[in-house]
Amino acid sequence: MKRINVVQVALFVMFALIMETYGLTRQAAAKTDWTPDSTIEIIAPAGPGGGWDLTARAIQRSVTEEKLVNKHVIVSNKPGGGGATGWTFLKGKEGNPHFLAVNSSLVLLNNLLGSSQLTYNDFTPLAMLTTEWISIAVKADSPYKSGTEVMEALKKDPGCMTIGVGPSLGNNDHLSFIQAAQKFGVDVSKLKWVVFEGAGGDVVMSVLGGHVGLVTTALSETLQQHKAGKLRILAISADKRVDAISEVPTWKEQGVDMVFPHWRGIMGPAGMTDEQVKYWDSVLSQMVEKPSFKTTVQNMNGQIYYKNSAEFKKFLTEANASLGPLVQQLGLQKK
């Protein structure tokens, strides 16, 4: 009889331990499976109609229509300071994963150029989403047929041609060209730049009019003139050839180990938990695979260029380390 009681007690203790373990497991699962419990606000750090705004609204539309989130999603425009106004607002939402903001390389460059105290470390990187590649182009009757030929000419005489860029030095178009030129051994301090405040459109018109010998600008700005036979695109900053212009080689194919995306992404405030980051990783990785989102990005002259939160953080760290010394070397920091 005593033996039976001992067995019964042992079984009871084992059952209790199993139930306790099951309960803890369920609690851990519940803790891991975080989902939003209020409205999600995506901050576009610029006015309506620009790249940041269009990206924010593409995200809003996709996650809503595809039912990837279970709460209402709104977009709020907070322009000013080259993104700094909207990003400062996000910084004030520390630990709240219901607030997100679209970003770009300016989240790095604003700080490196001395125009903002904010850095990428003030936020939680969630995803790089899209890119637009950067091209260099000459007028169709130019003697230069490749990026390599241009760089060899500039290596011999950095002042042999003027280079158009806009809307300012220190942007992606400028820095990508500098990086490529340095790989070829060009003395970049002697390059002759002409800056156009009107950015892409004015830059392209300047080379078509013969006012500059070469331009560095977004592929979307040069593509149609290249197809029309008025410009010749010599190189693009992509990791592989672009379908729409498959005859044009990348810089990597021309001996420059460089990929330079003009990217847009999304970030949350600092202080997000691993579970919250995991949730947005899942949502955003699904979103970039949806045909509706891909079509929207293509209509914006972009391409999907996805990196998850861990990959995006690694990219930002490496880009910051690469661009910082370059900005200092060129003397572009505000005094």
Per-residue pLDDT reduced to its tens digit, 63-75: 999 999 999 999 9
Question: At which of 225, 254, 283 does a domain end?
Answer: 254
Confidence at residue 128, expressed as pLDDT on a 0 to 100 scale: 98
Confidence at residue 8, expressed as pLDDT on a 0 to 100 scale: 56
Question: At which of 254, 279, 303 does a domain end?
Answer: 254
Does 270 share its domain with 293? yes
Does 160 share its domain with 248? yes
Range of the domain at 22: 1-32
Question: At which of 208, 225, 254 does a domain end?
Answer: 254
Does 99 share its domain with 21? no
Closest CA to 150 of 217, 240, 215: 215
Domain count, the chain: 3
Between CA 97 and CA 87 the distance in angstroms is: 14
In a domain, 334, yes or no: no
Closest CA to 133 of 248, 26, 21: 248
User: pLDDT under 50 in the chain at which residues?
Assistant: 1-4, 6-7, 9-13, 16-17, 19, 21-22, 24-31
Confidence at residue 5, expressed as pLDDT on a 0 to 100 scale: 56
Confidence at residue 33, expressed as pLDDT on a 0 to 100 scale: 87
For residues 158, 161, 164 and 169, what is the CA-based torsion angle, rounded to 10 degrees?
20
pLDDT digits (tens, 9 = 90+) for 176-226: 999 999 999 999 999 999 999 866 678 999 999 999 999 999 999 999 999
CATH number at residue 47: 3.40.190.150
Does 165 share its domain with 213? yes
CATH number at residue 169: 3.40.190.10
Confidence at residue 61, expressed as pLDDT on a 0 to 100 scale: 97
Both tokens of 55, joined, read 């990206």
Confidence at residue 28, expressed as pLDDT on a 0 to 100 scale: 41
In a domain, 284, yes or no: yes
Confidence at residue 301, expressed as pLDDT on a 0 to 100 scale: 86
Confidence at residue 201, expressed as pLDDT on a 0 to 100 scale: 78
Does 296 share its domain with 312? yes
Beta bridge partners of 307: 128
Confidence at residue 197, expressed as pLDDT on a 0 to 100 scale: 82
